[in-house]
Structure 1
């Protein structure tokens, strides 16, 4: 039983590490500026969604919301992968199941992070928060397969 538990812990740590790297690299101000400077395509533009910022030209509220969204995405990814990988103790423990587990966890994490941080912005309604959550879910759908593959690889170690 201890071996199984450690393998599932490594799945969540591998997925969380990849989520952290995605946010750190592709959410950086330098990458976001590069993407915004031209038409880079859907995938490269979507990678820049959970952007964190250190720019002092924005309001404190906007900076806090953007940075908190990036942090919550990583934390919620760890929580959801841990919860969903535990469900793999059932009969569905294959490679496809592991990829879909990490992918789904990332979709849920991005949507929830966007939903919660939307309320930090000025003049936010519940409808605006739901639209932000849909944008986060879209990000998770397009990028989440990377986290899914990482959590599958972590599960095997």
Structure 2
């Protein structure tokens, strides 16, 4: 029974982290702010711009695709962590699981929703998946820390 509790805690911690990231940094106010103010050629500005990738809004072009992409990102990350959480130990294993879940979940969400945009093509879907994987690489460590902390808390 303790195995299921640990997996559930790791999954909920990682899912909560990605929900917070998407809601806090994917909203229209933050994405517009990042587009105006985080344009330097340094690591911090790159991080701030990348945080805005799962942009969601209530209006604009391709709004359905972007909103669905943000929702699928949360769903895929939760599913990947949930499926694999029992197979990893606390610490580094849970950290890398959370990080990998964001890389893969973002790439899958971007590839699937790229076909809903006006300029849909296989090339644009693969390019969207590559950009999304970069989001996971740069931001996914936050979910990795949350997943690892959740795994340790239940252990």
Alignment TM-score, normalising by the size of structure 2 = 0.92
Deviations along 1:36-58, whole A, 9 cap, x unmatched? 11226100000000010012xx2
Report the equivalent of 1:75.
75
What is the DSSP-based 3-state SS (H/G/I as helix, E as strand, rest coil) of the residue aligned with 1:37?
A: helix
Report the equivalent of 1:138.
134
The structural deviation recorded for 1:94 is: 4.3
Report the equivalent of 1:26.
25
Unmatched runs of 5 consecutive residues or more in structure 1: none
The structural deviation recorded for 1:84 is: 2.1
Decide whether the 8 Å contact of 1:84 with 1:105 is kept in 2.
no
Decide whether the 8 Å contact of 2:90 with 2:151 is kept in 1.
no
Deviations along 1:77-104, whole A, 9 cap, x unmatched? 100111221322xxxx241111001100
What is the DSSP-based 3-state SS (H/G/I as helix, E as strand, rest coil) of the residue aligned with 2:140?
A: helix
Q: Which stretches of structure 1, 4 residues or more, deviate above 6 A after TM superposition?
A: none
CA distance in 2, matches of 1:73, 1:3: 28
Deviations along 1:15-45, whole A, 9 cap, x unmatched? 0001000000000111011111122610000
User: Are 1:52 and 2:51 an aligned pair?
Assistant: no
For residue 99 of structure 1, the aligned residue among 87, 90, 95 is 95
User: Are 1:126 and 2:122 an aligned pair?
Assistant: yes
Decide whether the 8 Å contact of 1:54 with 1:63 is kept in 2.
yes
Q: Which moved more, 1:79-88 or 1:95-104?
A: 79-88
CA distance in 2, matches of 1:49, 1:37: 15
Alignment TM-score, normalising by the size of structure 1 = 0.91
Unmatched runs of 5 consecutive residues or more in structure 2: none
Decide whether the 8 Å contact of 2:3 with 2:86 is kept in 1.
no
Report the equivalent of 2:64.
64
Report the equivalent of 2:14.
15
Decide whether the 8 Å contact of 1:77 with 1:105 is kept in 2.
yes
Report the equivalent of 2:36.
37
What is the RMSD of the two structures over their aligned residues, measured on CA atoms?
1.1
